[in-house]
Amino acid sequence: MRSRPLSETDYDIVRQVPFLSALGGARLDNLMAKCRVECHSRGEHLFRAGDVARNFYVLLSGHLRLVKVSPQGEETVMHFLTQPGAFAEAVSLAGRAYPVECEVMEDCEIIAIPRDTYLSVLRSAPDVMAEVLAGLLRWERFFLEEIFKIRHTKPIQRIASFLIDFEERSGENLGGEDETNFPEKRQIASRIGITPETFSRSLRKLEATGAIAAGSKLRILDRAVLVELSR
């Protein structure tokens, strides 16, 4: 793993994280002065399930995936992280162990923020606690929405929604020429709670509409049709 000092661009990303920006200029600068940007390669793990959550992170670039592994060794993809922003803050600030593994899918740069250092700064800023709590609750809202989707939407809707959301969060192919580098099909199926068999059947139906190409690499062909199918 390589590391480097934070750049002004990195600071701009950090300032977009509500529970960090709420600290204010001087306190945030003091916190970031104790951190460096870590550069990780595809296939590396930032942490494993069961590791003590001594840090939380800010993703600057690249793609990560959060995976839960059963005692039998079966993987369930909990989430793909593709946008700059914070993650693992709730479990870290609670002083618990990471419940999932975090694997690098695409070379990434992250800032690891030590829990104890952040809490030390936070104690000097009790006025920002409301902002911190609001930031932590975003994960609860996210997973409640995911449970609703699994219970109340059809497989084709879930696939269409995932592809649209992943493309938007990746910032790829939105008016550009580069194709979005979607995860492997089995990982997508795991992420949205669909069996591989149902996923394959649903992909064939989606492909028949002309919305996607489902060959060795997924491609969105008609975004408008895909959006309509996601509703």
Give which of 69, 60, 126 is closest to 87, Cα–Cα: 60
DSSP letters spanning 105-162: EEEEEEEEEEHHHHHHHHHT-GGGHHHHHHHHHHHHHHHHHHHHHHHHS-HHHHHHHH
Q: How far is CA 62 from the centre of its chain?
A: 10
pLDDT 10s digits, 4-27:
999 999 999 999 998 898 888 899
Tell me: the pLDDT tens digits for 30-82?
999 999 999 999 999 999 999 999 999 999 999 999 999 988 888 999 999 99
In angstroms, the CA 128 to CA 130 distance is 6
Task: Please list, in sequence order, all residues whose beta carbon lies within 8 angstroms of the beta carbon of residue 156, skipping any fewer than 6 positions away.
Answer: 202, 205, 206, 229
Band (pLDDT 50/70/90 cuts) for residue 90 is confident
Least confident of 31-40, 118-127, 174-183: 174-183
- pLDDT tens-digit series, residues 134-177: 777 777 777 778 777 777 899 999 999 999 999 988 775 444 45
Q: What is the mean pLDDT of residues 177-193?
A: 85
- Report pTM: 0.80
**Domains and their CATH numbers in the chain:** 2-139 (2.60.120.10), 153-230 (1.10.10.10)
Q: Is the pLDDT of residue 2 over 70?
A: yes
**What pLDDT is attached to residue 174?**
45
Give pLDDT, residue 175. 46
Question: Would the pLDDT of 219 be above 70?
Answer: yes
Residue 84: pLDDT band with limits 50, 70, 90: very high
